Amino acid sequence: MKKISVVIPMYNEEEVVKTSYLRIKEVLEECKEYDYEMIFINDGSKDKTLKLLQEMAQENKKVKILSLARNFGHQAAVTAGIRYVTGDAIVIIDADLQDPPELLPEMLTLWEKGNEVIYGQRKIRKGESAFKLLTAKMFYHTLNVLSDVEIPKDTGDFRLVDRKVIDVINSLPEHNKFLRGLFSWVGFKQKAYPYERQERQAGKTKYPFKKMCKLASDGIISFSTKPLKMVGGLGILTIILSIGILIYSIVSYLFNLNSLTPGWTSIMVAITLFSGVQLLSIWIISEYIARIYDETRNRPEYIIDKKINF
């Protein structure tokens, strides 16, 4: 019997824990030809999330809990979850039921047809602020301009993934994973699954502006080195500009075109030339630092405090 593993990250979700569990469970139990497990990751919640999860785990052994030592963030929580899955098909879903679990049977059908990554693509996003929609749009646009991998627009982490792909993702040593990017970077047979994103069931978003910025910078830095190169381009541009000013001053001096304030030339040339040289050097140094940084960040992405039903 094939098994489905559902991975659900939770951070201060006491308001949705129960409804979320019941709704996902109902869907899973309707898929009678599959066995299932539900892996909840408690990402350092400060409310009753863990307590509620433990109650569920006691009455249903298919409910497994990974409780992290503190809040490590959504991506780290999902990374922890997918490391412990034992199923053949893995589903990543948010706790707030914005991604309807009822779509699972259709996604499973697509999986049975040989697709290996079925990613949810939002046709509409209900109940999101205009600010969130705008920044998300800008982010995906920038990311696609900068990055060499095609990262599909309007996708989050809601997806069904074959075991084979999860094994590859788990074997990647990099930290600060931008999962939705990696899932498209690894290749395999990908399939978009358009759906309507619902409003959050209850509670507030756990993605304040700061966390959104971190996610965006992880996305850009781990999929592109172009920003570093752009700094270099800026340096070269400044140097060209300073040479231009130099030529202009010499010409106007020789032909006495206009009387420049004495000292203007030397100051302008020095400022532009040296700021150009500085930007250029910072670029070169950053290229090295970025590589060293990449190699040395060897801290674990998350720390597990408790494991239940494993």
Binding site for ligand UDP (CB under 6 A): 9-11, 13, 43, 71, 73-74, 77, 94-96, 98, 205-207
H or E element, residue 36 = strand 34-42
Select 5 or 98, whichever has its Cβ closest to ligand UDP.
Answer: 98
* Interacting residues of 48 by C-beta distance below 8 A, sequence separation 6+: 14
Is the Cβ–Cβ distance between 38 and 6 less than 8 Å?
yes
Residue 43 touches which of ligand UDP, Mg ion, none (Cβ within 5-8 Å per kind):
ligand UDP
Residue 186 touches which of ligand UDP, Mg ion, none (Cβ within 5-8 Å per kind):
none
Select 13 or 162, whichever has its Cβ closest to ligand UDP.
Answer: 13
Sheet hosting strand 304-308, strand order edge to edge: 190-197, 117-125, 155-162, 89-92, 2-10, 34-42, 63-68, 304-308
For position 13 contacting Mg ion by CB under 5 A, the verdict is no
Nearest-approach distance from CB 20 to Mg ion, in angstroms: 11
Nearest-approach distance from CB 291 to ligand UDP, in angstroms: 29
Phi and psi at residue 85, to the nearest 5°: -75, 145
Residue 195 touches which of ligand UDP, Mg ion, none (Cβ within 5-8 Å per kind):
none
Q: Which two tokens stand for residue 278?
A: 């500085």
Q: Which residues pair with 209 in a beta bridge?
A: none
Select 207 or 248, whichever has its Cβ closest to ligand UDP.
Answer: 207
As a whole number of angstroms, the distance between CA 215 and CA 213 comes to: 5
- N residues, the chain: 310
Nearest-approach distance from CB 176 to Mg ion, in angstroms: 21
Select 158 or 283, whichever has its Cβ closest to ligand UDP.
Answer: 158
As a whole number of angstroms, the distance between CA 280 and CA 268 comes to: 18
Residue 95 touches which of ligand UDP, Mg ion, none (Cβ within 5-8 Å per kind):
ligand UDP
Taking CB under 5 A as the rule, which mask of x and - marks residues 90-119 in contact with Mg ion?
----x-x-x---------------------
Nearest one of 75, 70, 71 to 174, comparing CA atoms: 75
* Interacting residues of 127 by C-beta distance below 8 A, sequence separation 6+: 198, 199, 200
Nearest-approach distance from CB 49 to Mg ion, in angstroms: 15
Residue 10 touches which of ligand UDP, Mg ion, none (Cβ within 5-8 Å per kind):
ligand UDP
Select 62 or 74, whichever has its Cβ closest to ligand UDP.
Answer: 74
Cα separations (Å) of 140 from 4, 180, 217? 30, 11, 12
Q: Are strands 34-42 and 89-92 parallel, antiparallel or unpaired?
A: unpaired
Residue 81 touches which of ligand UDP, Mg ion, none (Cβ within 5-8 Å per kind):
none
Binding site for Mg ion (CB under 5 A): 94, 96, 98
